[in-house]
């Protein structure tokens, strides 16, 4: 049976790491004229009981308001709404990795930092729905002919570049329809908000093939899945990070080499790997939540999973999908206090070699 899936482009935030977690973010899209700054992608999924998915997508855009547009393939006509960036920030703060370092020995010459780093219809094109949501006007369109669809999008101010054309065909051939959004008249780029879409589906999916059009090298990808079980990748590797490889690094965001270790680990699987940074009951983090949406999501969905990857455009050849499984919880708190203090703090004459190893058990069946 063909798996129901969701497809969409978005942008997510810098992973907040070490000592005190925090976050920032951006978003991915088809935009007109001005390339999208897709330094990271950040999205929240909820797996709903009525066989629908809701996707909250943060968008960060730099350019003129009249040049803004966003085109995303979806499996059915979505219900469209908007959210607030603060919700992404709070969920990131609640689930980002936290490292408890060993005490600094006298041989460590660099002082301990006092704060953490935050990280109209034509031809064969059917207009299935139109409307507004927050600052956006939108159309939901479909066509069996990708050429006619591209012409319609361009005619209606949704610019599709030549490199996007084959991707439109790919998703059209897969039976997807498209949500196209742009800012309403008199709305500026300062009014851009995260987009919320609810549509038919059961398996979250990130369309990295589409994202590759505007992606940057080693782009951060963070996704949260709120459901009744833990979410794991089905067609990407799922390795773990060995805390023994974590070292202090004052020149890095967060003060450790965590990002470098993630890069080395993901590269072992040719960019096709996600690290689970947090997986646990919603109640564990709900007590410290303040944001209205986050509090509601944690009350409605009993389990939260946060996954992280860093992938370059040339590695974005497969769209990752996720499924729900029964699996042990994964804490975002890493207690490094029992690691050799001199090694962690890079004292002279200590071995700073990081040993990252390929794990065949982390590879799903059929992985290539």
Tens of pLDDT, residue by residue over 290-323, are 999 999 999 999 999 999 999 999 999 999 999 9
Instruction: Work out the end-to-end distance of the chain between its first and last CA atoms, rounded to an integer number of angstroms.
Output: 22
Q: Mapping DSSP to helix (H, G, I), strand (E, B) and coil, where does residue 47 land?
A: strand
The answer to whether the beta carbons of residues 347 and 311 sit under 8 Å apart is no
The model's pLDDT over 210-267, given as tens digits with 9 standing for 90+, comes to 878 777 888 889 999 999 999 999 999 999 999 999 988 766 666 789 999 999 999 9
Domain boundaries, the chain: 38-362
Split at pLDDT 50, 70, 90, the class of 282 is very high
Tokens 């308001």 map to which residue? 65
What's residue 119's pLDDT?
A: 35
How much is the pTM?
0.78
- Give the mean pLDDT of 10-22: 30
Helices 165-173 & 146-155 angle (0-180, nearest 10): 130
More confident residue, 182 or 32: 182
Give dist(CA 323, CA 321) in Å, integer: 7
The model's pLDDT over 342-354, given as tens digits with 9 standing for 90+, comes to 988 888 888 888 8
> What count of residues does the chain have?
368
**CA count, 13 A, side-chain hemisphere, 132:** 6
The model's pLDDT over 157-183, given as tens digits with 9 standing for 90+, comes to 887 878 888 888 888 888 888 988 888
Residue 350, Cβ density class (10 Å: 0-12 exposed, 13-18 middle, ≥19 buried): middle
The model's pLDDT over 111-131, given as tens digits with 9 standing for 90+, comes to 444 333 333 334 489 999 888
Give dist(CA 208, CA 247) in Å, integer: 31
Q: What Rg value do the Cα atoms of the chain yield, rounded?
A: 21
Q: Strand 333-335 and strand 98-100: pairing?
A: parallel
Q: Mapping DSSP to helix (H, G, I), strand (E, B) and coil, where does residue 246 land?
A: coil
**CA count, 13 A, side-chain hemisphere, 126:** 7
DSSP label of 209:
H
What's residue 111's pLDDT?
A: 46
């Amino acid at each position: 049976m063909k798996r129901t899936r969701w497809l969409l482009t978005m942008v997510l935030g810098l992973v907040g790491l070490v000592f005190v977690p925090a976050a920032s973010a951006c978003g991915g899209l088809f935009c007109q004229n001005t390339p999208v700054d897709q330094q990271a992608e950040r999205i929240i999924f909820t797996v709903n009981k009525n066989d629908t998915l809701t996707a909250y997508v943060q968008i960060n855009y730099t350019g003129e308001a009249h040049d803004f547009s966003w085109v995303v393939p979806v499996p059915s006509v979505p219900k469209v709404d908007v959210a607030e960036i603060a919700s992404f920030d709070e969920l990131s703060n609640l689930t980002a990795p936290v490292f408890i370092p060993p005490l600094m020995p006298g041989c460590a010459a660099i002082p301990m930092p006092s704060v953490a780093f935050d990280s109209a219809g034509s031809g064969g094109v059917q207009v299935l729905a139109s409307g507004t949501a927050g600052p956006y006007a939108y159309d939901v369109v479909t066509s069996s002919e990708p050429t006619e669809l591209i012409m319609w999008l361009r005619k209606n101010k949704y610019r599709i570049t030549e490199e996007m054309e084959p991707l439109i065909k790919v998703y059209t051939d897969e039976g997807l329809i498209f949500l196209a959004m742009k800012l309403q008249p008199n709305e500026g780029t300062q009014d851009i908000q995260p987009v919320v879409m609810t549509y038919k589906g059961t398996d979250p999916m990130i369309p990295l093939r589409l994202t590759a059009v505007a992606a940057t090298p080693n782009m951060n990808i963070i996704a949260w899945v709120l459901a009744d079980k833990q979410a794991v990748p089905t067609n990407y590797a799922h390795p773990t990070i060995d805390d023994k490889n974590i070292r202090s690094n004052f020149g890095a965001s967060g003060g450790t080499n965590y990002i470098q270790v993630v890069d080395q680990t993901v590269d072992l699987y040719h960019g096709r790997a996600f690290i689970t940074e947090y997986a646990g009951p919603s109640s564990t983090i709900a007590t410290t939540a303040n944001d209205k949406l986050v509090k509601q999501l944690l009350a409605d969905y009993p389990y939260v999973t946060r996954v992280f990857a860093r992938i370059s455009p040339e590695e974005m050849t497969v769209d990752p999908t996720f499924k729900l499984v029964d699996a042990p919880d994964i804490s975002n708190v890493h207690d490094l206090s029992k690691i050799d203090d001199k090694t962690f703090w890079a004292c002279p004459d200590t071995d700073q070699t990081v040993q990252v190893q390929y794990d065949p058990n982390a590879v799903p069946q059929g992985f290539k």
